[in-house]
Chains A and B, each alone.
Chain A
Amino acid sequence: MRYARRGFWPSVVMAAIVAMASLAAKADEAPIAQIKTATGPAFIVRGGTKTPAVPGASLFVKDVLQTDAGGTIGLTFSDNSVLSVGPSSEVALAEYNFDSSNFTGSMETDIHSGTLSMVSGDIARSSPSAMKVRTPTAILGVRGTSFAVEVGH
């Protein structure tokens, strides 16, 4: 009886350790951006889990933003870059690192479909090749400006 469910506790303990490890990883990681505006059907996809995008939500590197028809998301990065995503779009925050003590870093935003507009911040100012936007067929280098991208129709 005592050992009848021998396999149970070790697997519970393992699951708990794995859960704690992944929580700790998220807690260690600083948010890279905050959602400021959201309308219509708009979502954050993080590690396969899809949650509604709401103003105030923190965003982390590798998060994917998805909107359906009528949905939009606006956010501001910790380097003061501003990104907004139009309807029926998918945009990934693929790479981001920023040192707030000397205002340098690098970032790559990937747009798979739809529309986005951006206003660059401190990262683009720090070096000419630091801010990139990747589309399915091209890479944009951004040197301190406001711009917009559409992928597909």
Chain B
Amino acid sequence: MRWCAVLLLALGLAACARDELFVVLPNPDGTAGEITVDDGKTQMPLNKPYAAGEMRGGKAEAAKVEPQEVQTIFASAIAARPMLPSHFRLYFVSDSDTLTAESEQQYRAVFADISKRPVYQVEVVGHTDTLGDRSYNQQLSLRRAQAIRDRLIKDGIATSAIAVAGRGELDLAVKTGTNVSEPRNRRVEIAVR
């Protein structure tokens, strides 16, 4: 179908058939990001829910497709989509690997999320605030991540599916100077996918 445009000229046909179709799907909150279709000559941005483009004979063009039609064309691909990744933050008591009372509740949400997935991978990255020595904080952040890992394993999550790391005070959630106690920085970030 690449040569469609050439054939059109030669035979005087009305239009090329559609070779490719691109559609922006709405995010769960109804918003949409952007994709750009580049056919080698022009760049066509698509940035609204169900905005569509197509390739005909090597040329990018805007297309109109009804949401119903999109759901039909992509029904199997969309049905095969895995559960989207989840992100959690759990907070700790100062200078310890003990969860705050609130995060103790949140831990259950993490465990419930993992339990819903037939196949899972979990990444636990520990962090600290800037109070105290930098290399001590590096160790503390790793201890926090390991404490959560050990707990997940005890609750039945597969050891091989959990990766841990400690980032010390390198990635502050809330920017502060040195030697500042900041509860929102004493945390682990958990990605479940």
Chain A contacts to B: CB under 8 angstroms: 34-37, 39, 55-56, 72-76, 80, 82, 84-87, 89, 100-101, 115-117, 119-121, 124, 135-153
Contacts and interface: CB of A to CB of B under 8 A. Distances in A.
Overall SS of chain A's interface: strand
30 contacts: A36-B82, A37-B81, A37-B82, A72-B79, A74-B81, A76-B85, A82-B84, A85-B80, A115-B77, A120-B33, A137-B55, A138-B37, A138-B38, A139-B38, A140-B38, A141-B36, A141-B38, A145-B24, A145-B25, A145-B33, A145-B35, A146-B24, A146-B33, A147-B46, A148-B77, A149-B20, A150-B73, A150-B74, A152-B19, A152-B20
Closest 4 CB pairs of A and B: A145-B33, A36-B82, A86-B77, A72-B80
A123 to B, nearest CB: 13
B81 A119 contact: yes
A35 B55 CA distance: 30
B78 A148 contact: yes
B100 interface: no
Interface residues of B, number: 47
B20 A136 contact: yes
B83 interface: yes
Contacts of B118: 36, 55
B34 interface: yes
B173 interface: no
Given A34-B121, A36-B119, A76-B121, 8 more contacts: A56-B119, A72-B77, A80-B191, A136-B2, A140-B22, A141-B38, A146-B25, A148-B70
Interface string B47-91: 000000001001010000000001001101111111111000000
A146 B119 contact: no
Contacts of A117: 25, 74, 77-78, 81
Contacts of B38: 138-141
B85 A73 contact: no
B80 A138 contact: no
B193 interface: yes
